[in-house]
Amino acid sequence: MSPSGEVVASVSSALAVLLVLLACVELGDAAAAVGVYRLIQYDLAGAPLGSRAAALNHHAAAFPLPAGADLSRSALVAPLLDLPLAFLREYLAEKKHLGGLLILLPRNISAKNVEGNNDDKGEPKNVLAELEKLLMHEEVPFPVYFAFHDDNLDNLLADIRKIASSGQPASASTGGYKLVVPSAEPKKVSSPTISNIQGWLPGSKGEGDAEQLPTIAIVANYDTFGAAPALSVGSDSNGSGAVALLEIARIFSRLYSSPKTRGKFNLLFGLTSGGPYNYNGTSKWLRSFDQRVRESIDYAICLNSVGSWSHDLWMHVSKPPENPYIKQIFEDFSDVSKEMGISVGIKHKKINVSNSRVAWEHEQFSRFRVTALTLSELSTPPEFLESTGGLYDTRESVDVESVMRTVKLVSEILARQIYGLRGRNIDVFADNSSLAISPHYIRSWLDLFSRTPRVAPFLQKNDPFIVALKKELSEHTTDVHVQNDVLDGMFTFYDATKSTLNVYQVSV
């Protein structure tokens, strides 16, 4: 090192010591460090939405607030059920300044109101859905973080309330706590990717078959969108559909592995990304196919939100139900569903090719003139960026039984078509048989999906999760291929999706 370098180094290390000392004088030791998840920040067609700030450094405050409290320099800590939406709406509408907001989430979103005395506040799941919708579609000028209740935070909350009840506003002179999330300015995510994963189970031609074999496509979208990208695990939307797809691939690979039971249809499996963005990935995936391959697709079954239904499922189509082809498919569904004691209804919604909005995944197929349907427990199309696997869509909201019934329904329908068994009451995938549907397999994949946030711009193309999906599909199918594309268009995303919150006790 050169002499002048040494001087610079020693000056800067002295400065560092000084800064540390200053920090200590003001704050003392961090009382706790907690993992926190930031509200999404994105631009939609140039409009800034979500949380526009990440750095937090303010005194903690909590409800109930003294009348006329000025929160412009406070970090408000609020358990989910204590945060009135009206309060938040007012702050956003009137552009009132808030130093920051930390929302405490229950560990189990599906658990009923545990405290018992707050029936009027509603169930956590519904409250969270409302809150998520509000925060996602507004420009929020202050930092907003989510954290899960734990002992540290609960103690902190109790302490802040105690100080507040003493009547004095929290400030440097009354002690209390300071909440600090050191964070650089969030940066734009450059060229966010969407990765579609596909695999084939090729059928076998009979002796004299010259024609190309027809293909049936099974498709499910696997990415999510929600108020906190690092928490958007979408167990139902659409983890459940993707898990059902993997299980269908697994059981059909057993049939297709023997020349005797290989069918005269190719099966194409597609795990698609970009679902929340009008199924952008599905569109790009379809475009990537050779026209001949696309034309060989007899029809596609898209599986979406199939993890929490008990009796009714819906088949959504873009062609009218009177269309002979749709009529046949619906009859196939009706026959098997009757035997299973469940009900499948049909819903017809025309596509509008001059509108970029795509409500169901099968509509992307319809745009390419490929017959397709979406099977879902939802009876109506969700709004843009709704039911996309956000905060409230957790493992507790899906059950293995629902996914198993979906797999059973689709597999029996496929088997009857592929093996010419229509109208026969048989049970190809009978329990206890070697083709039985595996609850264990479904449960373990649901668990993995439910632990993995999957907001596409924050999933790298070689993300372990994508690698795992590819590997799993390779276990059961051939010609497995990952198509990476850029999510272009009207969205811009910003990083800093999670961080560590330091809680400092302020000495009086």
Q: Residue 86: what are its φ and ψ, rounded to 5°?
A: -60, -40
Please state, as a whole number, how many other Cβ atoms lie within 10 Å of the Cβ of residue 12: 10
Q: How far is the CB of 459 from ligand NAG (least distance, A)?
A: 12
Mark residues 60-99: x for contact with ligand NAG by CB under 6 A, - for none.
Answer: ----------------------------------------
Do 252 and 435 touch, CB atoms closer than 8 A? no
Q: Which residue type is seen at 126?
A: N
| 260/369 with CB nearer ligand NAG | 369
Q: Which is nearer to ligand NAG, 139 or 396 (CB)?
A: 396
* Spatial separation of the C-alpha atoms in residues 167 and 163, rounded to whole Å: 7
Q: Is residue 223 a contact point for ligand NAG (CB under 6 A)? A: yes
Cβ distance to ligand NAG smaller for residue 395 or 476: 395
In angstroms, the CA 210 to CA 348 distance is 36
Tell me how far, at minimum, the Cβ of 463 lies from ligand NAG, in Å.
16
Q: Which helix (H) or strand (E) holds 417?
A: helix 400-418
Residue nearest to ligand NAG (CB): 275
**Token pair recorded at residue 196:** 């579609």
280 scored as a contact of ligand NAG (CB under 6 A) = yes
Name which of 305 and 371 has its Cβ closer to ligand NAG.
Answer: 305
Residue type, 116: G
The answer to whether the beta carbons of residues 165 and 63 sit under 8 Å apart is: no
CA-CA distances (angstroms) from residue 402 to 275, 278, 312, 421, 442? 22, 26, 10, 25, 10
Residues 6+ apart with CB under 8 A from 352: none
The answer to whether residue 284 forms part of the interface with ligand NAG (CB under 6 A) is yes
Q: Does 224 bind ligand NAG (CB under 6 A)?
A: yes
- Ranges of H-type helices in 186-314: 241-256, 280-288, 291-295
**Strands (DSSP E) along 84-143, which ranges?**
100-105, 139-140
C-alpha to C-alpha distance for 185 and 187, rounded to whole angstroms: 6
# residues contacting ligand NAG (CB under 6 A)? 38
The answer to whether 488 contacts ligand NAG (rule: CB under 6 A) is yes
Q: Which is nearer to ligand NAG, 314 or 504 (CB)?
A: 314
Among 356, 462, 478, 500, the residue binding ligand NAG under the rule CB under 6 A is 356
Is residue 275 a contact point for ligand NAG (CB under 6 A)?
yes
Output the smallest distance, CB 358 to ligand NAG, in A. Answer: 8
Residue 288 as a binder of ligand NAG (CB under 6 A): the answer is no
Helix H or strand E segment including 504: strand 498-505
Q: Which of 179, 201, 180, 234 is nearest to 62 (CA)?
A: 179
Regarding 472 and contact with ligand NAG (CB under 6 A), the answer is no
Span near ligand NAG by CB under 6 A; candidates 95-103, 132-140, 218-226, 255-263? 218-226
Question: Among residue numbers 301 through 330, which ones bind ligand NAG (CB under 6 A)?
Answer: 304-305
Sign of torsion, CA 23 27 29 31?
negative
Quick check: 111 binds ligand NAG (CB under 6 A)?
yes
Contact call for residue 237 and ligand NAG (CB under 6 A): yes
Q: Cα 295 vs. chain centroid, distance in angstroms? A: 31
Rule CB under 6 A: say whether 193 interacts with ligand NAG: no
Give the alpha-carbon dihedral of 119, 121, 126, 130, to 10 degrees: 170
Based on the shown chain and the rule CB under 6 A, indicate whether residue 415 belongs to the binding site for ligand NAG. no
Does 4 engage in binding with ligand NAG (CB under 6 A)?
A: no
Which two structure tokens, joined as six digits, stand for 175?
């002690």
**Which residues face 49 on adjacent strands?**
42
Residue nearer to ligand NAG on the CB measure, 54 or 80: 80
Of 193, 221, 187, 367, residue with least CA distance to 301: 221
**Pairwise CA distance, residues 284 & 194, whole Å:** 9
For ligand NAG, which stretch binds (CB under 6 A), given 127-135, 208-216, 250-258, 485-493? 485-493
The reply to whether 457 sits near ligand NAG by the rule CB under 6 A is no
Under the binding rule (CB under 6 A), the answer on residue 355 touching ligand NAG is: yes
Minimum CB separation of residue 214 from ligand NAG in Å reads 25
- Least separation in angstroms between CB 242 and ligand NAG: 10
| Smaller CB separation from ligand NAG, 18 or 111 | 111
The answer to whether 299 and 362 are in contact (CB under 8 A) is no
The answer to whether 402 contacts ligand NAG (rule: CB under 6 A) is no
Token duo for residue 127: 């409250």
Q: Which stretch binds ligand NAG (CB under 6 A): 80-88, 293-301, 370-378, 469-477?
A: 370-378
Q: Does 374 bind ligand NAG (CB under 6 A)?
A: yes
Give me the residues that bind ligand NAG (CB under 6 A), please.
108, 110-112, 221, 223-225, 234, 237-238, 275-278, 280, 283-284, 304-305, 352, 354-356, 374, 376, 378, 382, 387-389, 396, 431-432, 488-491
